[in-house]
């Protein structure tokens, strides 16, 4: 569905990379029926066009002893939204900040090393944010489904 703007070969290459981003050009070439050099050229073109943004390792913080994941729903006064967004974006404990529909609402994810670090984040970063009209925090107990990137 999302790949309709690409030719069939690029679609196949992207699907294989989503399955295993560590696959070699040779492995991909064998599966799609082109040479390793042609695969490399196509992948580089996809990267240059910004279609492929990055390759990364995904860490499950809940498998690390003591790690705490949570999300905040933050509502701000309209004039404070950009300031709040910048403060949150610059904090290393906060992993994602999304602007979502609703009354100037932000959806914010954080991963802390412990409950104590979570409490410090709330007390020193979240509570003093300017122009906050409401804020809720939910700790994530278990990851049931968590798909990264594009759903094909």
Q: What is the pLDDT of residue 148?
A: 67
pLDDT digit string (tens) for the chain, length 152 residues:
467 778 999 999 998 998 889 999 999 999 999 999 999 999 999 999 999 988 877 777 667 777 889 999 999 999 999 999 999 999 999 999 999 998 779 999 999 988 999 999 999 999 999 999 999 999 988 888 877 665 55
Which pLDDT belongs to residue 145? 81
> Is 114 strand, coil or helix?
coil
- CB contact set of 86 (below 8 Å; sequence gap of 6+): none
The pLDDT value recorded for residue 137 is 93
Instruction: Indicate yes or no: pTM above 0.75.
Output: no
pLDDT confidence of residue 152: 54
| CA atoms 91, 69, 129, 82: torsion sign | positive
Domains along the sequence of the chain with CATH: 8-48 (1.10.10.10), 61-139 (3.30.70.920)
Distance of CA 25 to the CA centre of its chain: 26
Report which DSSP code applies to 59: P
pLDDT score at 151: 54
Pairwise CA distance, residues 49 & 130, whole Å: 38
pLDDT score at 146: 75
């Amino acid at each position: 569905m999302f790949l309709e703007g690409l030719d069939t070969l690029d679609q196949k290459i992207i699907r294989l990379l989503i399955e295993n981003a560590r696959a070699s050009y040779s492995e991909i070439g064998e599966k799609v029926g082109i040479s390793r050099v042609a695969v490399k050229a196509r992948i580089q073109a996809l990267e240059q066009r910004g279609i492929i943004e990055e390759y990364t390792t995904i860490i499950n913080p809940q498998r690390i002893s003591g790690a705490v994941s949570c999300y905040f729903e933050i509502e701000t006064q309209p004039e404070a939204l950009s300031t709040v967004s910048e403060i949150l974006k610059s904090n290393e404990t906060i992993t994602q900040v999304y602007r979502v529909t609703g009354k100037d609402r932000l959806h914010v994810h954080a991963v802390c090393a412990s409950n104590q670090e979570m409490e410090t984040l709330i007390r020193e970063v979240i509570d003093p944010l300017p122009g906050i009209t409401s804020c809720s925090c939910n700790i994530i107990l278990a990851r049931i489904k968590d798909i990264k990137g594009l759903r094909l």
